[in-house]
């Protein structure tokens, strides 16, 4: 998404910098991704705080999934955009402009 916005010159400030395109894409996708993630995470709470018969098994399933989903949400929001900036910058330094890298086969 950030690549196509940069190529078309459609970032928020009509600039073609990688960071601005990533920031615009992250702002656009933040709310839907977080709503979906937190709905799933909150749906796991009954498994994490289970009591009664079979609680140990439910906790054994719920706790790792809860933690993994929380970690994946944080990773997806903060780490993935930064990695995109790093690798896209390297790709453009090695291969040329954003237009040339978009036209190249993947």
Model confidence pLDDT, tens digit, residues 47-100: 999 999 999 999 999 999 999 999 999 898 889 989 999 998 898 888 866 555
Which residues have C-beta within 8 Å of that of residue 57, sequence separation ≥ 6?
A: none
CATH code for position 40: 1.20.1640.10
Query: Residue 50 is part of which domain span?
Result: 2-103
The number of distinct structural domains making up the chain is: 1
**Cβ proximity of 38 and 44 under 8 Å:** no
Judged on CB neighbours under 10 Å (0-12, 13-18, 19+), 78 is exposed
**Cβ proximity of 6 and 65 under 8 Å:** no
Instruction: State the pLDDT at residue 104.
Output: 55
Q: Tell me, yes or no, if the pTM score tops 0.75.
A: no
């Amino acid at each position: 998404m950030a690549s196509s916005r940069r190529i078309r010159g459609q970032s928020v400030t009509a600039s073609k910098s990688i960071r601005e395109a990533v920031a615009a894409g992250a702002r656009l996708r933040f709310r839907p991704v977080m709503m979906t993630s937190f709905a799933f995470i909150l749906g796991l709470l009954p498994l994490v705080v289970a009591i009664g018969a079979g609680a140990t098994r439910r906790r054994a399933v719920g706790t790792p999934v809860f933690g993994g989903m929380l970690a994946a949400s944080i990773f997806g929001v903060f780490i993935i955009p930064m990695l995109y900036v790093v690798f896209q910058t390297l790709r453009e330094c090695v291969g040329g402009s954003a237009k040339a890298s978009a036209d190249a086969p993947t």
